[in-house]
């Protein structure tokens, strides 16, 4: 059984349907990428997993149905979410933003803070600084660290590289790889930056106007000329 199983998921904003019959699986220990252009439904998909949209279909974590559960319960079940544009509390310190993320923490908060500081040393240096005064890359790190404060099994990350310089993107990629390899975290990442997604993920799903158009391993997609031309710009 895959860690996350999504079956025929449709998501709605009022009358408008933003996802159509999306089915996908994320195996335990994998890094899986969702790629697609603006408005494809990437954020809607991650929001839906967190119980933040109205849906039809099934979303299961370790076989357990998530739809109908509250977002707090979904977090307690072991999913962490670093949403698009971070959504930090700008006039609170780095540390207080992390502590907000630990609200439903299942394990010792001091240990979680230490892990965050180990992964992102800059957040230790800047622990008392308001997040409004951080750089974009540092804010992205707070967002990731906050999502990790509940010690999730599955981490959802929405466009962590948006607007960031290549060097900072590489730093973030390195941390995500480390989380996956050393801490065994399973990661589902939404990205428009196809190259970034390909350097991290083993498996990709291409989402377009709310539907999965193509899916496969990075290896097979790279070799498929049609896919390469349409999505990977080479």
Ligand X SMILES: Nc1ncnc2c1ncn2[C@@H]1O[C@H](COP(=O)(O)OP(=O)(O)OP(=O)(O)O)[C@@H](O)[C@H]1O
Question: Which chain residues interact with ligand X by CB under 6 A?
Answer: 13, 16, 18, 36, 38-44, 84, 192
Strands 54-61 and 4-13: antiparallel
Instruction: Rule CB under 5 A: say whether 48 interacts with Mg ion.
Output: no
Nearer to ligand X (CB atom), residue 44 or residue 150 = 44
What token pair was written down for 48?
A: 């839906």
The three-point CA angle 56-202-196 to 5° equals 95
Q: Cα torsion at 160, 164, 168, 169 (round to 10°)?
A: 50
Instruction: Rule CB under 5 A: say whether 53 interacts with Mg ion.
Output: no
Q: Which of 18, 43, 131, 150 binds Mg ion (CB under 5 A)?
A: 43
Q: What is the DSSP letter of 159?
A: -
Least distance between Mg ion and beta carbon 194 (Å): 15
- Chain positions 75 to 94 lying near Mg ion, rule: CB under 5 A, are 84
Least distance between ligand X and beta carbon 85 (Å): 9
Segments of 160-210 assigned E as strands: 186-191, 203-208
48 binds, among Mg ion, ligand X, none (CB under 5 to 8 A by kind): none
Can you give the binding site for Mg ion, defined by CB under 5 A? 42-43, 84
């Amino acid at each position: 059984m895959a860690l996350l199983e999504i079956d025929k998921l449709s998501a709605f904003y009022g009358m408008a349907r933003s996802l159509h019959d999306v089915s996908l699986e994320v195996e335990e220990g994998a890094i899986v990428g969702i790629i697609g252009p603006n408005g494809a439904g990437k954020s809607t998909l991650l929001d839906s997993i967190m119980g933040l949209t109205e849906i039809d279909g099934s979303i299961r974590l370790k076989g357990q149905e998530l739809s109908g559960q509250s977002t707090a319960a979904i977090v307690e079940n072991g999913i962490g979410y670093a949403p698009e544009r971070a959504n930090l509390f700008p006039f609170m310190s780095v540390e207080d933003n992390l502590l907000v993320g630990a609200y439903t923490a299942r394990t010792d908060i001091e240990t979680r803070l230490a892990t965050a500081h180990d992964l992102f040393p800059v957040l230790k240096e800047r622990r008392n600084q308001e997040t409004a005064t951080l750089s974009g890359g540092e804010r992205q790190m707070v967002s990731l660290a906050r999502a990790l404060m509940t010690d999730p099994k599955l981490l959802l990350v929405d466009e962590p590289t948006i607007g960031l310089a290549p060097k900072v993107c590489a730093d973030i990629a390195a941390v995500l790889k480390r989380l996956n390899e050393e801490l065994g975290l399973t990661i589902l990442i939404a990205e428009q930056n196809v190259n970034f997604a390909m350097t991290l993920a083993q498996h990709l799903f291409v989402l377009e106007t709310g539907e999965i158009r193509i899916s496969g391993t990075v290896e097979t997609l790279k070799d498929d000329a049609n896919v390469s031309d349409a999505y990977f710009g080479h």
